[in-house]
Amino acid sequence: MWTVLRDLLRHNREFAAGVCLLGIVGLIAALSALSPYSPLDSYVVPPDLPPGLPYVLGTTSRGQDVFWMLTFAIRNTLLFGFIVALISRLLALLIGLVAGYAGGWIDRALMSLNDTFIVIPLFPILVLFYFVMRDRMSWASLALVMACLGWAYDARLIRSVALSLRTREFTETGIFSGMSMRQILTQEHLPFVLPIVFSTTMNNINWSIGLEVTLSVLGFTDINTPTIGSMIYWANQHTAMVAGIWWWVAFPVVLVVITFVGLFLLAISMNEFIDPRSRLGRGMQ
């Protein structure tokens, strides 16, 4: 695995670029630990200063240092993406592998459920969830809800692989040697689907971050937690764009776009490595 990564890094431009971009983003997120200010406090620095020294990326109309806010924002946003991805991966794996392995009516049932979740427009439903949960709609609960909605597309990919594994002889031998379904799935099949899981993770993170940003920009999430979305939200509250405080919107947008492109490059390079035919998880936006 490591050698593969090393080779990819050396010889696959997309992969290398993706790693670099994410490296930058990750570094910025890590810096949040060093922030001199609490992300919740405002008017800790003079407002509306353009980028320069001592405030590298300028300050907001709320008297916050854009750079340090950004570190918290991107940290939380990434964390959010990872949590969603993690939980939804588990779901996707479970359903995908079981469906693929079991086949028959179980497969059919799971897949029609799966297709349902692929087709249903999620945004209205997320908005509705917000209006049920209101201030209980914390960042964590949103992550949970989105994880429960965001597994379908990848479950399909995993299932298709599992389906092909099912007919391989090692599965047969596994069955004859009396392995339980759980054993076969975890010991025999899991290793094969892991690469796909990895690449879909990237797309899934993109997807969840995208929605999180959208929702919080529309004020449909908890605005106390600094995320890229809530940063833009506050900027809009202060009509930063027209007021000429462009750095308040520009830098979050740039950073989040870097993140997206980075993750995305990783995903496609992984994809090409795994399986040139795979569909790049399109539609996950």
Partner 1 sequence: MRTLRQAVLALLAALAGFGAMAQELISNVPRHQTLVVENPEGTIRNAGWFNYWAINAGGQSTGLHQLALDTFWYIDPNRGVNGVWDNSLASEKPIYNKDFTELTVKLRPGIFWSDGVEFTSADVVYTVETHMNTRGLRWSAPIQINVAGISAPDKYTAVFKLKKPNSRFHALFTVRWNAMWMMPKHIFEKAGDVIKFAFNPPVSLGPYTLHSFDPNGKWFIWQKREDWKRTTVARHGEPGPKYVAYVDAGPPDKRVIAQMNHQLDIIHDTSPEGMFTLAKQSRLSRGWFKGFPYAHPDPTLASVIFNNQNELLKNRDVRWALALVIDIKAVSMASYRGAATISAIGVPPTGTHPESYHKPMEAWLRTFEVDTGKRKIKPYDPTIGKQIADSLRPSMGIQIPDKPEDVAKAFGMGWWKPDLQAATELMQRAGFKKAGNQWMTPDGKPFTIKITVEGEGRPVMTRAGSMVAQQWRQFGIDASTVVAQGTLNDRRAAGDFDAIISWSVETWGGHPDLSFFLDSWHSQFIAEPGKPQPPRNWQRWSHPELDKIIEQIRTVGFDDPKGVELGREYVKLVAREMPTIPLMAYNVFTVMDETYWTGYPNAETAPYTDPVPNWGNTKYMMVKLKPRQAQ
Partner 2 sequence: MSGYAAYLLRRVGQFVLVVFIGINISFVVTHATPIDPVEQTISATTAFGSTSPEAIAMMRQSLRELYGLEGSLWQQYLSFWKRVAVLDFGPSLSAFPTPVSDLIGRALPWTVGLLVVATTISWLLGNLLGGLAGYYREHRGLRWAGIVAMGFHPIPYYIVALLLVIVFGHLWPVLPISGGSQMNLAQGFTLDFAASVLRHSVLPVVSLVLVGLGGWFMGMRSLVSNIVSEDYVVYAELGGVSRRRILHSYVMRNALVPQVTGLAMSLGHIFNGAIITEQVFGYPGMGSLLVSAVHAGDYSLVLGLASVSIVAVAFAVLLLDLLYPFLDPRVKVS
Partner 3 sequence: MTDAVTPVVKVTHLRAYYSTHQFGVQREVRAVDDVSLQVMPDEIYGLAGESSCGKSTLIKTIAGAIRPPLAVQGGSVEFDFGGNKLDMYRAAPDEIAAIRWRHLSYVMQGSMGVLNPVRRVQQAFVDFALRHIGQPMPQFLDTVRAHLERVHLKPEVLRAYPHELSGGMRQRVAIALATVCKPELIIADEPTTALDVIVQKGVLDMIRSVQRELKTSLIFVTHDMAVHAHLCHRLGVMYAGRLIEEARTAELFGAPQHPYTQHLIASLPRIGRAAPTQALPGAPPNLAEPPSGCRFHPRCPRAMAVCQREVPPMQTLPGGHRVACFAVTPP
Catalog residues that contact partner 2 under the rule CB under 8 A. Answer: 112-113, 115-116, 118-125, 127-129, 131-132, 134, 153, 206, 209-211, 213-214, 217-218, 232, 241-242, 249, 253, 256-257, 260-261, 263-264, 268, 272, 276-280, 282-285
Could you tell me which stretch among 6-14, 82-90, 174-182, 188-196 binds partner 3 (CB under 8 A)?
A: 6-14
Matching residue, tokens 């689907």: 193
Q: How far apart, in whole angstroms, are the C-alpha atoms of residue 25 and residue 6?
A: 21
Minimum Å gap between C-beta 7 and partner 3 is: 5
Q: How far apart, in whole angstroms, are the C-alpha atoms of residue 275 and residue 214?
A: 32
Minimum Å gap between C-beta 63 and partner 1 is: 8
Task: Collapse the DSSP code of 231 into the 3-class scheme (helix H, G, I; strand E, B; otherwise coil) and give the result.
Answer: helix
Contact (CB, 8 A) for 154 and 204: yes
Instruction: Please give the backbone phi and psi of residue 16, each rounded to the nearest 5 degrees, phi first.
Output: -60, -50
State which of residues 5, 7, 128, 187 lies at the interface with partner 3 (CB under 8 A): 7
Distance in Å from the first CA to the final CA of the chain: 29
Contact status: 84 vs partner 1 (CB under 8 A):
no
Contact status: 282 vs partner 3 (CB under 8 A):
no
One character per residue 50-79, x = contact with partner 1 (rule: CB under 8 A): -----------xx-----------------
Could you tell me which stretch among 17-25, 72-80, 128-136, 258-266 binds partner 1 (CB under 8 A)?
A: 128-136
> Where on the chain is the footprint of partner 3 (CB under 8 A)?
7, 10-11
> Where on the chain is the footprint of partner 1 (CB under 8 A)?
40-43, 61-62, 131, 134-135, 218-220, 222-224, 233, 236-245
